[in-house]
Structure 1
Amino acid sequence: MSLPIHLTSNASQLPFFCSSNSLLFYLDDPSTFSQVLTLYNPYDFVVRYKVLCTAPKKYSVAEPQGEIRAQHSVDTIVRLLDTSASSANQNVVHKIRVQFFDRRKSQDLIGKRDVTCSILSYKPLEQSFDDEPNITGTSRRTRPNTITSPTPPVIQQETRDPLVIFILTILGAVCAFVLVLPTIPDSDNSFNARIPSYLHMTTNSKVIASYILGLLTVVFIRR
């Protein structure tokens, strides 16, 4: 299928797309020596493509030419051939040009796309990942302090609260005083007779005071 007639006048202005505008090759990282470059055809007609390079001795392109169906894409692999660490092969930039043609008129250039190829001596450190273990390690070291450190101040604040201590102390003193007071059955004792009758406690009152005093004792011991 040829290029539609209404596009032929501006055929050279048609935009085409690649998966990347630049390829980075690092001499200290062999995994970057082969990279995939995807070519896209967003149009409703078949196009032919051809891949050219300014430094053909340094790169090889798998399937440097072929066809792309309408609204499809093809993958081609760009390989770095010269992996020497010589100064002439470090920090240099080359260019790959992808040309697109009409399928039936192979000489009619309808679009192009340039991709830069950079050869770098070493791969830069990824700071975000290098810093992550330190952050994680720091958080792990400080996490116990973060969890446990707030607890003692809260407890200390509760036990050192003057109002709380005062109330608990008064309540404990009242319970202890109730326990030392005479009971009603013992009111006939000559010593107990000297104590006013309203201060004579019943057995149930002393049991309750003893129970409350026991709870207060447990609270003070735990704190």
Structure 2
Amino acid sequence: MQQQSRPPRAVEGRLPVFVFPTELVFYANEQASHRQVLTLYNPYEFIIKFKVLCTAPRKYVVVDATGAVKPRCCVDIVIRHRDIRECHYGVVDKFRLQVSEQSRCKSLGQKEVTATLLSSATQKPIQPHSQNKTHRLKEKLAKGVFFEQTEGRTTSGGPSLFAVLLGLGCLIVLLLPTLGEPDSSVPLYLHLSVNKKLVAAYVLGLLTVVILHP
């Protein structure tokens, strides 16, 4: 009897997590910025479950902090800052997105996203320089001091040639026809899968943040 082949299972803790953006900046004087969106991509062939955790649960509201993402799809996670006070200016909090397969409970991968509250868009993010503060934050992350509920970087000069070429390459990938679409003008080997296009869109988004970040 011929056994049916099964798709390989992801190794625990080795699953890359694709989330954009990887940095959230809230501005006290801009009410529209108090609501931000994280997009979680699933380029895999199986359904993934996700859970959003945070080091400062009292300062944020997360809509749909747990859920599932279908294969080759994405989901938006809304995060609202609800404690806009001057004492929180420049404080760097962290969100952690943990993902797992639908049929398994153990985490297969995780991604951390920073969140900072600034007084205005003209204020530059304050990078934490205290070793004690960094050590305490790492201890929180290690011990799982997070919440479960439903919502620094400096650059000099222009973007590098590599970043520009990589961005152009991702843009070309997105413009090519998707696998299965009838298009006689483009060779079949240039028809790309949705999986590859999702990865290209994710990389292009990261490059856009790096290039446009003040």
Measured against the shorter chain, the TM-score band is 0.5 to 0.7
Counterpart of 1:77 in structure 2 is 78
Letter of the 2:31 counterpart: P
Contact 1:52/1:97 (8 A) holds in 2: yes
**Bigger Cα Rg:** 1
Counterpart of 1:221 in structure 2 is none
Counterpart of 2:209 in structure 1 is none
Aligned residues: 118
Structure 1 residue ranges (4+ consecutive) displaced by more than 4 angstroms after TM superposition: none
- How far apart are the structure 1 equivalents of 2:119 and 2:45? 43
Consecutive unaligned residues of structure 2, counting only runs of 5 or more, are 1-5, 124-214
Which residues in structure 2 correspond to 1:47-58 (within 5 Å)?
47-58=48-59
Counterpart of 2:93 in structure 1 is 94
- How far apart are the structure 2 equivalents of 1:14 and 1:104? 15
Report the alpha carbon displacement of residue 6 of structure 1 after superposing the two structures with TM: 3.1
- How far apart are the structure 2 equivalents of 1:99 and 1:115? 11
- How far apart are the structure 2 equivalents of 1:116 and 1:5? 34
The Cα offsets for residues 152-207 of structure 1, whole Å up to 9 and x where unpaired, read as xxxxxxxxxxxxxxxxxxxxxxxxxxxxxxxxxxxxxxxxxxxxxxxxxxxxxxxx
SS in structure 2 at match of 1:13? coil
Q: Using CA pairs under 8 Å that are at least 6 residues apart, name the structure with larger relative contact order, 1 or 2.
A: 2
SS in structure 2 at match of 1:12? coil
- TM-score scaled by structure 1? 0.51
SS in structure 1 at match of 2:13? helix
Q: Which has the higher helix share?
A: 1
Counterpart of 2:44 in structure 1 is 43
Are 1:7 and 2:9 an aligned pair? Answer: yes
Counterpart of 2:25 in structure 1 is 24
Consecutive unaligned residues of structure 1, counting only runs of 5 or more, are 126-223
Which residues in structure 2 correspond to 1:1-223 (within 5 Å)?
6-8=8-10, 10-85=11-86, 88-105=87-104, 107-124=105-122
- How far apart are the structure 2 equivalents of 1:77 and 1:116? 15
SS in structure 2 at match of 1:31? helix
- How far apart are the structure 2 equivalents of 1:112 and 1:95? 12
Report the alpha carbon displacement of residue 5 of structure 1 after superposing the two structures with TM: 6.2
Letter of the 1:16 counterpart: V
The Cα offsets for residues 75-113 of structure 1, whole Å up to 9 and x where unpaired, read as 11000010123xx211110000000011011x2111111
Say if 1:49 and 1:14 are closer, same or farther in 2 by CA, change over 3 A. same
- TM-score scaled by structure 2? 0.53
Letter of the 1:54 counterpart: T
- How far apart are the structure 1 equivalents of 2:79 and 2:122? 21
- How far apart are the structure 1 equivalents of 2:56 and 2:118? 16
- How far apart are the structure 1 equivalents of 2:8 and 2:43? 17
Contact 1:16/1:42 (8 A) holds in 2: no
Say if 1:12 and 1:5 are closer, same or farther in 2 by CA, change over 3 A. farther
